[in-house]
């Protein structure tokens, strides 16, 4: 790739019209406020129930709260994505309630 921004822009302007455009993908990210291991089984069940949605979990460390996870959902259909997101949010709420009762 060109290192000079104006040259890079000229290269992209030349190529962009020739690129094939695929299906638009929609994406949502939900902060789990839970560890990946605490939600993995439930996420797997939601993924099986929503085959049109790609669901990924991405653990990270929050210095204030410790281990955490972002759940990323992707789909080609906005309604399908919204339904899966609701299922993930409802599951996360159940997990949080269970964790707060055991704490």
Cα 42 from Cα 89, distance rounded (Å): 11
Collapsing DSSP states into helix, strand and coil, what is residue 22?
Answer: coil
pTM: predicted TM-score of the whole model, two decimal places? 0.78
pLDDT tens per residue across span 14-60: 999 998 888 889 999 999 999 999 999 999 999 999 999 999 999 99
Q: Give pLDDT tens digits for 84-98.
A: 999 999 999 999 898
At residue 53, the pLDDT reads 98
Sheet-wide strand order for 26-31: 26-31, 66-75, 53-62
């Amino acid at each position: 790739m060109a290192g000079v921004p104006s040259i890079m822009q000229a290269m992209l302007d030349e190529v962009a019209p020739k690129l094939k455009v695929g299906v638009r993908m929609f994406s949502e990210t939900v902060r789990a406020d839970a560890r990946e291991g605490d939600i993995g089984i439930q996420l797997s069940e939601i993924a099986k129930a929503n085959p049109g949605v790609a669901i990924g979990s991405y653990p990270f460390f929050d210095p204030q709260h410790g281990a955490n996870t972002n759940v990323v959902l992707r789909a080609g259909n906005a309604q399908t994505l919204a339904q899966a997101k609701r299922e993930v949010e409802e599951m996360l709420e159940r997990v949080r309630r269970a964790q707060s009762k055991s704490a």
